[in-house]
Amino acid sequence: MTATATSARSDLSELGRSETALRTFLHGLPGVDQVGAEQRAAQLGTRSIKTTAKAEAIDLAIRMVDLTTLEGADTPGKVRALATKALRPDPADPSCPHVGAVCVYPAMVPYVAEVLRGSAVHLASVATAFPSGQAPLEVKLADTRAAVEAGADEIDMVINRGAFLAGRYSEVYDEIVATKEACGDAHLKVILETGELATYDNVRRASWLAMLAGGDFIKTSTGKVPVAATPPVTLVMLEAVRDFRAATGRQVGVKPAGGIRTTKDAIKYLVMVNETVGPDWLDPDWFRFGASSLLNDLLMQRTKLTTGVYSGPDYFTLD
């Protein structure tokens, strides 16, 4: 690491100490060119990825899936079935890789942990009063600790959007720091809920805020509001993690979640990752898809490539 990067890093770590410093820094970030970002994202979506490149992209995308179920109707049986699928997504083809992680509510963590024990599949749990985050801090931290104790090694927290939009950045910052502490060794993914942040400028600010406070991943959405992950929002977040690494030397992952349902969409995101932040992020440790129905489409496309015959949803499990 160079001397300048080290000094920049120490400068940035001071920011959290005062509301004014944090506000000055976040509002000093350059604005996002909305038309430019949308056009760039659309342009990157036009690449044609075929044959062997497509096969590799599909396998990579499968390894990046955070197989998610976040329903009030989740039962131990349902999440066990989901975890089993995570280990071996396509029982008919042993060469199919396992997914990145399983993502469930804290109450469901113990059942998933039983199934995943000893495997390389991570166990993520949402916490901090997901999805609204509207609960006292003590409750959120207790939620987080409970999930970690039950066996989660990744925590998906939601930021306090009310405080963020009201401009109380320190409050958001302190909550993330406290949650990170409560996580212990578990990785912390910070959900920005970009659908509620209204502007790309806010997305950029929230991304930096989450990274400054110690988040290991920044994630677009909960999947519980109408607008979830979009390509331009993900582009803005990817630029933020790229700039953050350049300034501090610390690499932060990105997880678009919600609304990504087809292989085509997933491959567009992979192209965007490669073109924006480079191959360093083309790894399940640094890029994930939060999705439930995406996996079946990936498996169908994979089957098409291996057998030459179009497959159908009847041949993959419903979840």
Partner 1 sequence: MSERVAVRKTYKLFIGGKFPRSESGRSYLVQDANVSLASRKDARDAVVAARAAVKGWAGATAYNRGQILYRAAEMLEGRREQFVALGVPGDEVDAAVDRWVWYAGWSDKLAQVYGGANPVAGPYFNLSAPEPTGVVAVVAPERPALLGLVSVIAPAIVTGNTVVVATSPTEPLAAVTLAEVLATSDLPGGVVNLLTGRITETAPTLAAHMDVNAIDLTGVTDAELAADLEVKAAANLKRVLRPAPADHDWFADPGLGRMTTLLETKTVWHPKGV
Q: Which residues are catalytic, by number?
A: 156, 219, 255
Distance (Å, whole) CA 279 – CA 275: 8
Residue 313 touching partner 1 (CB under 8 A): yes
| Among residues 309, 317, 318, 319, the one that binds partner 1 under rule CB under 8 A | 309
Handedness of CA 89, 273, 54, 260 (dihedral sign): positive
Q: For residue 92, what are its two tokens?
A: 């008919």
Interacting stretch for partner 1, rule CB under 8 A, among 14-22, 28-36, 287-295, 302-310? 302-310
Residue 310 touching partner 1 (CB under 8 A): yes
Residue 311 touching partner 1 (CB under 8 A): yes
- 59: amino acid identity, one letter: D
257 neighbors 222 (Cβ within 8 angstroms): yes
Distance (Å, whole) CA 205 – CA 225: 20
Q: Is there a cis peptide before residue 131, judged by omega within 30 degrees of 0?
A: yes
| 184 or 313: CB nearest partner 1 | 313
Residue 312 touching partner 1 (CB under 8 A): yes
Interacting stretch for partner 1, rule CB under 8 A, among 44-52, 191-199, 203-211, 308-316? 308-316
Residue 315 touching partner 1 (CB under 8 A): yes
Shortest CB 303 distance to partner 1, Å? 8
Interacting stretch for partner 1, rule CB under 8 A, among 34-42, 57-65, 101-109, 309-317? 309-317
DSSP string of 180-203, one letter each residue: HHHHTTSEEEEE--GGGT-SHHHH
Residue 51 touching partner 1 (CB under 8 A): no
Per CB under 8 A, contacts with partner 1 among 248-267 are none
Shortest CB 297 distance to partner 1, Å? 11
| 34 or 315: CB nearest partner 1 | 315
Shortest CB 55 distance to partner 1, Å? 17
| 66 or 90: CB nearest partner 1 | 90
Distance (Å, whole) CA 69 – CA 81: 11
| 186 or 300: CB nearest partner 1 | 300
Residue 48 touching partner 1 (CB under 8 A): no
The CA distances from residue 123 to 8, 23, 34, 72, 127, in Å, are 34, 35, 36, 19, 13
Distance (Å, whole) CA 33 – CA 206: 17
Closest by CA to 47, choosing from 307, 264, 286, is 264
Shortest CB 261 distance to partner 1, Å? 13
Residue 318 touching partner 1 (CB under 8 A): no
For partner 1, how many residues bind (rule: CB under 8 A)?
A: 8
Shortest CB 158 distance to partner 1, Å? 34
| 35 or 309: CB nearest partner 1 | 309
Residue 314 touching partner 1 (CB under 8 A): yes
How remote is the C-alpha of 55 from its chain's centroid?
23
What residues line the site for partner 1 (CB under 8 A)? 308-315
